[in-house]
Amino acid sequence: MTTSADNDHKPSNFLRQIIENDLAQATYASRRWAGSPGDAAHHAAGQSDPAKIRTRFPPEPNGYLHVGHAKSICLNFGLARDYGGVCHMRFDDTNPEKEDTEYVNSILDAVQWLGFGWDANGTSHLYQASDYFDFMYRAAEYLIESGHAYVDEQTPEQMRANRGDFGKPGVDSPFRSRTPAENLTRFRQMRDGQLPDGAAVLRAKIDMASPNINLRDPAIYRIRRATHHNTGDAWCIYPMYTFAHPIEDALEQITHSICTLEFEDQRPFYDWLMARLIEGGLLPSPPPKQYEFARLNLTYVITSKRKLAQLVNEHKVNGWDDPRMPTIVGLRRRGYTPESIQLFAERIGVTKSDSWIDYSTLEGCLREDLENKAHRGMAVLDPVKLVLTNWAEVFGSESYTEDCHAAVLPHHGDDQPEPAQRHFKIGHAVWIEREDFAEVPPKGYKRLFPGNVVRLKAGYVIECTGCAKDANGQVTEVHAKVIPNTKSGTAGADSVKAKAAITWVSVADGVSAQVRLYDRLFTEAQPDAGGKDFLASLNPNSLKVASAFVEPSLAAAQPDQKFQFERHGYFVADRVDHVPFATPVFNKVTGLRDTWGK
Ligand code: ATP
Ligand code: MG
């Protein structure tokens, strides 16, 4: 657990200020916690709550989580961690139609992978809202009995017309004046399956003239014959989200219920409902409070589960974990680390106004995290063979090879121990990047061209002599002479001045590998803004596959291991397809610098 001293180093934000203020005022100090969610009586019998605050992360299990959810996870779990609280992992599964256990498992994985958990004070705080259906039903009956809810049997069209709009107050339903006894009978008939789907709804009785349309008698229960993934066919009526969510928070003794801005207009109903159910003795006091923050919008990225599902279902990408997807499984497969995503969440902070975050901010956090962690290695992504024509003459035989080595991680200062080394061989032929040779060098070109002297990084200095070409004029081989006694790390290393150092992989021990080069999935920065058809701006070049050669230390990578391929950027051994040595497969994570704007 972090101390308040640690918190002093974190940038503050309006939520931190609210929490710090609540802690200073002891707003929630009187709360009790019975060890599990429950009503007022349940918690009254419990202990003084060991958690100073309670937050929750409440996804609907109807898809895979994306980078926007990651912001919410880091926020809710992070605040609880920083302030001696607990964050509940709650499935908001009150809507029977779209939910699935496949999603439940993927969500739990994603939260844990990001570095968070829900075990605290000896309890697993993993909950599902559908476990509260009995209480929600009871709360609905209480509202009916106390004159705060009624069964409305207008048609959906009538209901819509009578709701009014911003300029026009609503009109009372003819069913609004039913007695509590009539309403109770009718509501029980709804529950017992005596009315068809859509024939009636239970509505809170508040104010049809309220300037806030959400307070014009919002629907709180509807009839829907659907099998629920947790409760099966036990219910044919289901609570509406706006009714269910505040109750879920209260049963779990949540103190700070943090949601995105679109729920701002729902807050008055949230508070109204809490006040009624506390009045009736059903829920403990003080009630949870809702706070809204701006959702994450990231350029070149879509953060809507529905639209991401469309990309998967229409095979625009290869599944939820396609490395181009902004899902947490996609980011993970792409090579993002939990630390980089946490850093990103911290860096973008929380605000109360919508804005777009540049994708390069996310990439920058990853580079920062990988810079000191990712092992270095050489890979040639667009290979052409370089033959050292005097090799046999200098070393006695064409098949002779010599060991070379280079640091696994960059050396940080003289006080540090010698860094670990990776080993590879140099021989009479090596692979180099096609772009590292020019028969006729452009102005300022420092790499291989006839007569120029360069170093094969961590190997020998060589002098280019020419090339061989095929009938089409395509270079098939580059030729050079090795200059004896110039090997890196030997006494003669500096005896000949090289104009450049180029990366290479030996033909003798290089391993062929597939390298997947990813680019942004969309060509437009705001692919779905203003209801635009995001499929129209899919980038046709978002994936290119290269046949590369990699040095042995890279071929030996474990799946998920990250590297910096010298000069090319960051790469990860694909967690699905990579098999060490046998079939090395790497995904490009990101380049070395921000090239997005260029
Ligand atoms: P989607 O529209 O993609 O389905 P959602 O908001 O409906 O997203 P939920 O499963 O209901 O998805 O969300 C769980 C939590 O994640 C909520 O508290 C929600 O506010 C938060 N969340 C979802 N998207 C974002 C986002 N882009 N930025 C920040 N928080 C988000
Ligand atoms: Mg939702």
Same domain assignment for residues 423 and 482: yes
Residues marked as catalytic:
60, 295, 305
213-243 pLDDT, tens digit per residue, is: 999 999 999 999 999 988 999 999 999 999 9
User: Which letter does DSSP use for residue 598 in this model?
Assistant: -
Same domain assignment for residues 390 and 312: no
Q: Is the CB of 542 under 6 A from ligand 1?
A: no
Q: How confident is the model at residue 412 (pLDDT cuts 50, 70, 90)?
A: low
62-98 pLDDT, tens digit per residue, is: 889 999 999 999 999 999 999 999 999 999 999 987 7
159-177 pLDDT, tens digit per residue, is: 999 999 999 999 999 999 9
CA distance 311 to 239: 31
Does 429 map to a domain? yes
Tokens linked to 39? 């009503």
In angstroms, what is the span from residue 309 Cα to ligand 2's centroid? 14
Does 144 map to a domain? no
What's residue 96's pLDDT?
A: 86
pLDDT of 437 strictly over 70:
yes
Beta bridge partner(s), residue 579:
583
53-66 pLDDT, tens digit per residue, is: 999 999 999 889 99
pLDDT of 530 strictly over 60:
yes
CB atoms within 10 A of CB 132: 24
pLDDT of 4 strictly over 70:
no
- CA angle in degrees (0–180, nearest 5) for 478-483-489: 110
Phi, psi (deg, nearest 5) at residue 36: -155, 160
562-576 pLDDT, tens digit per residue, is: 999 999 999 999 999
Average pLDDT over residues 554-567: 97
Q: Is the CB of 260 under 6 A from ligand 1?
A: yes
Residue 492, domain CATH: 2.40.240.10
Q: Is the CB of 340 under 6 A from ligand 1?
A: no
Q: How confident is the model at residue 596 (pLDDT cuts 50, 70, 90)?
A: very low
> What residues have CB less than 8 Å from 300, skipping those under 6 apart?
359, 520, 521, 522, 524, 525, 527
Same domain assignment for residues 490 and 448: yes
Same domain assignment for residues 15 and 153: no
Q: How confident is the model at residue 417 (pLDDT cuts 50, 70, 90)?
A: confident
Q: What is the mean pLDDT of the chain?
A: 95
Residue 225, domain CATH: 3.90.800.10
Same domain assignment for residues 224 and 211: yes
Q: What percent of the chain has pLDDT over 90?
A: 91
pLDDT of 598 strictly over 50:
no
CA distance 3 to 9: 11
User: Which letter does DSSP use for residue 197 in this model?
Assistant: T
CA distance 356 to 295: 9
Nearest CA to ligand 1 atom 29: 295
Sheet holding 383-388, edge to edge: 501-502, 453-456, 461-469, 475-482, 383-388, 429-433, 504-506
Nearest CA to ligand 1 atom 18: 259
Nearest CA to ligand 1 atom 22: 69
Q: Are 541 and 588 in contact (CB under 8 A)?
A: no
Chosen domain end from 503, 523, 543: 503
In angstroms, what is the span from residue 305 Cα to ligand 1's centroid? 9
Residue 18, domain CATH: 3.40.50.620
In angstroms, what is the span from residue 550 Cα to ligand 1's centroid? 41
b (16+ CB within 10 A) / e for 418-438: eeeebebbbbbbbbbbeebbb
Q: Which domain holds residue 188?
A: 149-238
pLDDT of 505 strictly over 70:
yes
Of 79, 256, 260, 266, which is best to mutate to test ligand 1, by the most ligand atoms within 8 angstroms of its C-beta? Answer: 260
Of 57, 64, 72, which is best to mutate to test ligand 1, by the most ligand atoms within 8 angstroms of its C-beta? Answer: 72
Q: Is the CB of 326 under 6 A from ligand 1?
A: no
